């Protein structure tokens, strides 16, 4: 490895950090202009004026915004996200359990979805425009087109109510043994897999087909290689960059965008946690979760960029 | 024949004969299945509760923001779990009146200003300590402190002093109040060791279950407390568990799949389908909650009683009840109380849909142009549909209603109690006095119809201090009439609490105070094999 590639990678990471900082400013500013009042939202319809006044004072809602931002950022840099205003619990420790759950579910879905999508994409290219290609594309697009909650309900109806082989409630906690945990996430992970499959599969197919137009593929064909070997050895390595990009986007989605699936399967992940606290205007939690989600997105994008750089032979072997 | 059936039903209750065999024999004896089933359930009840097992509830209304501090209770899950681990001085009995728990009896001075509550001896907290009058005093003081954020603060505002006196707790009030025992049934007022001042969210109370699992917004669990003081009455299952299931379809699926034994908030539109499922029972109890259309009596055009009356007459209550609640409720009568309240007079004339009269009064009021009605999905389930139905029934009387659908976020801060004509909900209160004091006194913060009438205020105060029940009932009757004919609220219906239980759940008691049998379902039900 020589300098240009290292420099590019370092550049990407630095850019990511700057971006993360900018996002932190945006998140903080955004939560400041939310309508409504935190104290009122916490107490709900049954708020009495006395309780409201006391709560406002206690939450320190009277400090200027920039001061609160500095305090907040300083805390986060020391791993302290503060305490939730609504329940008084430490945010970092409540998030860690939930983040673990979310990552576990995302990992389970990804382990199935990513290889499946890529393999299906390869098969679709091999039999392009034939019956198999159309069948794969059709089914994948259909499963993506159904809303997540519908897929979830169908899975619940078939596997939890009718056959009763998997639980419809996927509640897990720290003490749940690994196998039980796996059993609990089967249905939500399946739903998520069905949702993200088509996007990755179609992208793999398109990227490889693009490469298949190149002259060197023709050469490979002419020297008598089998169609699958051409795709595997010559076409796919050159199509990795766009595929990795779309895979990373979908992984990010699996981590930050699954609140509907969480609600339906009663899975204690980050999404539900965020929604609860948004509803209560619990600003510290919303900020913390927002920042974590932003970090996930930025990290995965950096990984995609780096993968693209590393996969590029011209950058790997500079003259 | 009936002797034989009795004998057989007792054998089923004792677990020596299967339900199916019993129904078969009953049919052979020429008895209808319905009658045989009812015979069976009364035999099961008579045979007494079955101890053991784990009773699980899948409930809506839990957030990851919940805490075990009773002062912060707002939604259904903390409320129901609170009934498992904690107890108040008294409870609202299913048939009206109070059930004595930590207080053994409550008596008052003749002027209803000084109340003496005798604290039961031998009631133990989960930490092994016995409940003392000092604990009770500390609890009441914590919740009535101006600095507290307790949901019971409003209820306790009228308290002047709280003192322990031997085995009694003596409370004096600023103004007479004949309803004090009912106030003590507020679900926030769980008696805690030293009033919960040391650690408000410790979850230590005197209830039948000790807290073992507390994951807000996910799961709560408890195991039976060995030294519970009335173990024959409450706490039959070895363990109770509440899983938070906020999605209605997922809740139903969990009940159907047998993952939970009971659920709350069954949507009215699916009740008829749910009824057909084997083993599932719908538990509908009429309650004190209602969904009002609120008009500000001091804001034009609603400051004109003819206009208010025409808007009331233009409400088709029957249609509303069938279409919005599918019949799971009772029609309202434009007053905030109904027969679920103690001291309610049952002889009010029911207001009916009368487009002609409404049209005439509307004309008389001199108003022209459309009237803006604000609604939102969060006002109550089906609130947007209800507004549209109302728009149509008003059109029949020649009244033009313009609907504005407001965002759910901020509805309770920006629209309710701020805009002159909007939809809302009230969960009801244990007594008529509390309901009227909360929302219909001139000085009430939540006077969401801006109903300000000095003569009405006087009646509220007079009724509150009146210990003679007949006289109180008469005053409440007059107040109800004023509300109905001159007030600012249109009440299409009172809703029912619709819960459901799965296979083998017995011992359910309907209670109008709150859903899930006033939150007692988990502690009073048992699992029949």
Question: Mutation test of the interface with chain B: which of A266, A277, A283, choosing the one with the most B Cβ atoms within 10 A?
Answer: A266
Q: Which of A225, A200, A208, A198 is nearest to A128 (CA)?
A: A208
pLDDT exceeds 50 at position A280: yes
Q: Which residues of A touch B259 (CB under 8 A)?
A: 160, 167-169
What does the alpha-carbon distance between residue B162 and residue B164 come to, in Å, rounded to a whole number? 7
Largest Cα–Cα distance of chain B, in whole Å?
A: 75
CB-based contact A264 B250, cutoff 8 Å: yes
What does the alpha-carbon distance between residue A181 and residue A109 come to, in Å, rounded to a whole number? 13
Q: Which of A136, A134, A119, A101 is nearest to A266 (CA)?
A: A101
- Asked whether residue A109 is domain-assigned, the answer is yes
* pLDDT per residue as tens digits for the range B304-317: 999 999 999 999 99
Task: Quote the mean pLDDT of chain B.
Answer: 89
- Asked whether residue A251 is domain-assigned, the answer is yes
pLDDT of residue B438: 86
pLDDT exceeds 90 at position A236: no
Mark B416-433 as b/e (b = at least 16 C-beta within 10 Å).
bbebbbbbbbbebbbbbb
Give the residue from chain A lying closest to B63, CA to CA. Answer: A276
Q: What is the mean pLDDT of residues B470-496?
A: 94
pLDDT exceeds 90 at position B263: yes
* pLDDT per residue as tens digits for the range B380-418: 888 999 999 999 999 999 999 999 998 877 788 788 989
Chain A, 93-112: which have a CB under 8 Å from a chain B CB?
A: 94
CATH number of the structural domain spanning residue A236 = 1.10.3720.10
State the pLDDT confidence band at B303, using cuts at 50, 70 and 90: very high
* pLDDT per residue as tens digits for the range B433-451: 989 988 999 988 889 999 9
* pLDDT per residue as tens digits for the range B319-347: 999 999 988 999 999 999 998 888 898 88
pLDDT exceeds 70 at position B528: yes
| A164 and chain B in contact, CB less than 8 A | yes
Task: Quote the mean pLDDT of chain A.
Answer: 86
CB-based contact A161 B416, cutoff 8 Å: no
pLDDT exceeds 80 at position A301: yes
Q: What is the mean pLDDT of residues B173-186?
A: 91
Question: Mutation test of the interface with chain A: which of B68, B241, B248, B257, choosing the one with the most A Cβ atoms within 10 A?
Answer: B257
In terms of pLDDT, which residue wins out, B519 or B64? Answer: B519
Give the residue from chain A lying closest to B243, CA to CA. Answer: A171
Task: Report the gap between the CA of A86 and the closest CA in chain B (Å).
Answer: 6
State the pLDDT confidence band at B30, using cuts at 50, 70 and 90: low
Chain A, 34-53: which have a CB under 8 Å from a chain B CB?
A: 35-37, 40-46, 48-51
Task: Report the gap between the CA of A179 and the closest CA in chain B (Å).
Answer: 18
Size of chain B, expressed as the number of residues it contains: 529
Burial of B217 by CB count in 10 Å (0-12 exposed, 13-18 middle, 19+ buried)?
buried
Asked if A143 and A195 count as a contact pair (C-beta separation under 8 A), the reply is yes
Q: Which residues of A touch B150 (CB under 8 A)?
A: 51
CB contacts < 8 A (A, B): 117
Question: Mutation test of the interface with chain A: which of B69, B76, B142, B149, choosing the one with the most A Cβ atoms within 10 A?
Answer: B149
CB-based contact A157 B253, cutoff 8 Å: yes
Question: Mutation test of the interface with chain B: which of A35, A38, A51, A149, choosing the one with the most B Cβ atoms within 10 A?
Answer: A51
Alpha helices in A33-175 (DSSP H): 38-43, 49-59, 65-77, 91-126, 131-145, 148-155
Task: Report the gap between the CA of B116 and the closest CA in chain A (Å).
Answer: 28
Asked if A193 and A140 count as a contact pair (C-beta separation under 8 A), the reply is no
State the pLDDT confidence band at A172, using cuts at 50, 70 and 90: confident
CB-based contact B215 A44, cutoff 8 Å: no
Of B74, B213, B259, the CB nearest to A168: B259
| A268 and chain B in contact, CB less than 8 A | yes
Give the residue from chain A lying closest to B254, CA to CA. Answer: A168
| B247 and chain A in contact, CB less than 8 A | yes
pLDDT of residue A1: 47
pLDDT exceeds 80 at position A131: yes
Q: Which residues of A touch B416 (CB under 8 A)?
A: 45
Task: Report the gap between the CA of A280 and the closest CA in chain B (Å).
Answer: 8
Q: Which residues of A touch B250 (CB under 8 A)?
A: 156, 168-169, 263-266
* pLDDT per residue as tens digits for the range A135-152: 999 999 898 899 999 999
| B445 and chain A in contact, CB less than 8 A | yes
Q: Which residues of B touch A38 (CB under 8 A)?
A: none
CB atoms within 10 A of CB B213: 16
Q: Name every residue whose Cβ is closer than 8 Å to that of residue B4 and which is 6 or more positions away in sequence.
A: B29
Q: Supply φ then ψ for residue B263, to 5 degrees.
A: -135, 160
CB-based contact B74 A50, cutoff 8 Å: no
- Asked whether residue A318 is domain-assigned, the answer is no
3-state secondary structure of A18: helix
CB-based contact A35 B217, cutoff 8 Å: no
Give the residue from chain B lying closest to A40, CA to CA. Answer: B413
pLDDT exceeds 60 at position B458: yes
Chain B, 44-103: which have a CB under 8 Å from a chain A CB?
A: 58, 63-67, 74
3-state secondary structure of B371: strand
- Asked whether residue A304 is domain-assigned, the answer is no
| B250 and chain A in contact, CB less than 8 A | yes
| A270 and chain B in contact, CB less than 8 A | no
Q: What is the mean pLDDT of residues A251-279?
A: 88
Q: What is the mean pLDDT of residues B466-486?
A: 93
State the pLDDT confidence band at B8, using cuts at 50, 70 and 90: low
* Number of domains into which chain A is organized: 1
pLDDT of residue B394: 95
Q: What is the mean pLDDT of residues A91-117?
A: 93
| Helices B469-486 + B454-464 axis angle, to 10 | 150
pLDDT exceeds 60 at position A45: no
Q: Which of B498, B410, B59 is nearest to B243 (CA)?
A: B59
CB atoms within 10 A of CB A277: 27
What does the alpha-carbon distance between residue B285 and residue B517 come to, in Å, rounded to a whole number? 8
- The label of the residue with tokens 């070895």 reads B238
CB-based contact A36 B409, cutoff 8 Å: yes
Chain B, 157-216: which have a CB under 8 Å from a chain A CB?
A: 201, 213, 215-216
pLDDT of residue A33: 76
- Asked whether residue A204 is domain-assigned, the answer is yes
- Asked whether residue A299 is domain-assigned, the answer is no
- Asked whether residue A137 is domain-assigned, the answer is yes
Give the range of the structural domain holding residue A116, as residue numbers without chain letter.
Answer: 91-281
Q: Which residues of B touch A288 (CB under 8 A)?
A: none
Global pTM?
Answer: 0.82
Q: Which residues of A touch B146 (CB under 8 A)?
A: 50, 54
Asked if B469 and B115 count as a contact pair (C-beta separation under 8 A), the reply is no
Q: Which residues of A touch B154 (CB under 8 A)?
A: 48
pLDDT exceeds 70 at position B293: yes
| B407 and chain A in contact, CB less than 8 A | no
* pLDDT per residue as tens digits for the range A208-226: 999 888 898 999 999 999 9
- Asked whether residue A101 is domain-assigned, the answer is yes
Q: What is the mean pLDDT of residues A119-143?
A: 91
Per DSSP, A167 falls in state -
Q: Which residues of A touch B58 (CB under 8 A)?
A: 169
CB-based contact B253 A161, cutoff 8 Å: yes
């Amino acid at each position: 490895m020589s300098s240009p590639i290292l420099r590019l990678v370092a550049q990407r990471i630095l850019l990511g950090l700057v971006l993360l900082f900018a996002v932190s400013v945006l998140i903080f500013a955004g939560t400041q202009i939310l309508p409504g009042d935190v104290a009122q939202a916490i107490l709900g319809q049954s708020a009495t004026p006395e309780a409201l006044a006391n709560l406002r004072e206690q939450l320190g809602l009277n400090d200027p915004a920039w001061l609160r931002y500095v305090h907040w950022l300083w805390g986060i840099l020391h791993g302290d996200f503060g305490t939730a205003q609504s329940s008084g619990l430490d945010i970092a420790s409540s998030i860690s359990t939930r983040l673990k759950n979310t990552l576990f579910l995302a990992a389970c879905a990804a382990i199935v979805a990513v290889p499946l999508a890529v393999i299906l994409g390869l098969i679709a290219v091999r039999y392009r425009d034939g019956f198999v290609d159309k069948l794969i594309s059709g089914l994948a697009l259909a499963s993506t087109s159904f809303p997540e909650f519908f897929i979830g309900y169908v899975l619940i109806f078939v596997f939890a109510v009718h056959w009763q082989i998997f639980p419809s409630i996927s509640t897990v906690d720290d003490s749940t043994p690994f196998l039980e945990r796996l059993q609990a996430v089967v249905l939500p992970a399946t739903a998520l897999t069905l949702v993200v499959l088509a996007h990755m599969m179609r992208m793999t197919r398109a990227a490889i087909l693009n490469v298949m137009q190149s002259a060197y593929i023709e050469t490979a064909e002419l020297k008598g290689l089998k169609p699958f070997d051409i795709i595997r050895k010559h076409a796919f390595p050159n199509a990795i960059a766009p595929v990795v990009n779309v895979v990373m986007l979908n992984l990010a989605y699996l981590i930050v965008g699954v609140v509907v699936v969480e609600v339906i399967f009663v899975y204690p992940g980050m999404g539900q946690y965020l929604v609860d606290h948004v509803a209560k205007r619990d600003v510290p939690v919303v900020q913390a979760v927002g920042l974590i989600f932003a970090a996930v997105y930025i990290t995965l994008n950096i990984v995609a960029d780096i993968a693209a750089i590393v996969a590029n032979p011209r950058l790997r072997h500079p003259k | 024949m009936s002797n034989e059936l009795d004998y057989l039903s007792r054998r089923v209750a004792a677990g020596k004969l299967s339900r199916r065999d019993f129904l078969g024999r009953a049919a052979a004896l020429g008895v209808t299945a319905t009658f045989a089933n009812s015979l069976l359930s009364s035999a099961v009840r008579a045979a007494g509760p079955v101890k053991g097992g784990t009773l699980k509830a899948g409930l809506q209304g839990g957030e990851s923001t919940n805490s075990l501090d009773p002062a912060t209770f707002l939604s259904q899950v903390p409320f129901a779990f609170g009934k498992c681990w904690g107890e108040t001085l008294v409870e609202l009995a299913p048939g009206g009146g109070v059930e004595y728990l930590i207080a053994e009896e409550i008596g008052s001075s003749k002027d209803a200003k000084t109340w003496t509550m005798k604290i039961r001896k031998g009631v133990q907290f989960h930490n092994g300590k016995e409940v003392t009058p000092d604990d009770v005093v500390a609890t009441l003081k914590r919740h009535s402190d101006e600095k507290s954020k307790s949901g019971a603060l409003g209820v306790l505002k009228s308290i002047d002093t709280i003192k322990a006196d031997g085995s009694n707790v003596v409370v004096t009030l600023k103004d007479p109040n004949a309803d004090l025992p009912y106030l003590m049934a507020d679900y926030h007022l769980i008696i805690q060791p030293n009033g919960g001042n040391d650690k408000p969210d410790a979850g230590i109370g005197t209830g039948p279950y000790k807290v073992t699992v507390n994951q807000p917004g996910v799961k709560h669990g408890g195991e039976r407390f060995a030294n519970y003081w009335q173990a024959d009455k409450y706490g039959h299952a070895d363990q109770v568990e509440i899983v938070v299931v906020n999605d209605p379809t997922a809740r139903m699926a969990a009940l159907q799949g047998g993952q939970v034994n009971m659920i709350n908030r069954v949507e009215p539109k699916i009740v008829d389908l749910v009824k057909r499922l084997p083993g599932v029972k719908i538990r509908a109890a009429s309650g004190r909650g209602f969904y009002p259309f609120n008009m500000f009596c001091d804001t034009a055009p609603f400051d004109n009683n003819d206009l208010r009356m025409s808007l009331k007459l233009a409400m088709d209550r029957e249609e509303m009840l069938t279409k919005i609640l599918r019949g799971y409720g009772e029609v309202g009568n434009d007053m905030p109380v109904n027969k679920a309240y103690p001291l309610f007079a049952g002889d009010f004339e029911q207001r009916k849909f009368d487009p002609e009269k409404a049209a005439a009064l509307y004309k008389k009021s001199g108003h022209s142009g459309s009237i803006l009605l604000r609604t939102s999905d969060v006002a109550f389930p089906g609130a947007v549909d209800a507004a549209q139905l109302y728009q149509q029934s008003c059109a029949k009387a020649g009244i033009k209603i313009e609907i504005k659908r407001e965002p759910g976020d901020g509805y309770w801060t920006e629209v309710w109690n701020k805009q002159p004509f909007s939809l809302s909900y009230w969960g009801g209160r244990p007594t008529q006095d509390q309901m009227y004091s909360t929302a219909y006194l001139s000085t009430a913060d939540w006077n969401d119809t801006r109903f300000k009438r000095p003569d009405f205020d006087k009646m509220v105060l007079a009724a509150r201090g009146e210990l003679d029940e007949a006289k109180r009932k008469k005053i409440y009757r007059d107040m109800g009439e004023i509300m109905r004919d001159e007030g600012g609220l249109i009440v299409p219906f009172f809703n029912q609490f619709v819960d459901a239980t799965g296979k083998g759940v017995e011992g359910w008691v309907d209670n109008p105070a709150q859903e899930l049998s006033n939150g007692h379902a988990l502690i009073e039900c048992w699992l029949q094999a």
